[in-house]
Amino acid sequence: MLGEPARTWVEVMEKWRFLLERYAATPAACDERIQKLIRRAVGDMERLRKREERK
């Protein structure tokens, strides 16, 4: 992930998903509202990734 910049939106979303999932595991993100936002964002990224792959 640190080697090269992302070349596609799918690569960008993979990096953001990784970071969000790491953040979700920290004490700072223990609030259920934050967890819900993270789950929704990861779900949105997965849905958009699948749409991009179909193009």
What is the residue extent of each domain of the chain? 9-54
Tell me the CA distances in angstroms from 7 to 13, 15, 38, one per residue in order: 11, 12, 24
Q: In this structure, which amino acid lies at residue 27?
A: P
Half-sphere exposure of 31 (CA within 13 A, CB side): 5
pLDDT tens, position by position, for the chain (55 residues)?
778 899 988 888 889 989 999 999 999 999 999 999 999 998 998 898 888 888 7
Closest CA to 14 of 45, 37, 38: 45
The predicted pLDDT at position 39 comes to: 92
The predicted pLDDT at position 44 comes to: 92
The predicted pLDDT at position 35 comes to: 93
The predicted pLDDT at position 20 comes to: 93
The predicted pLDDT at position 55 comes to: 76
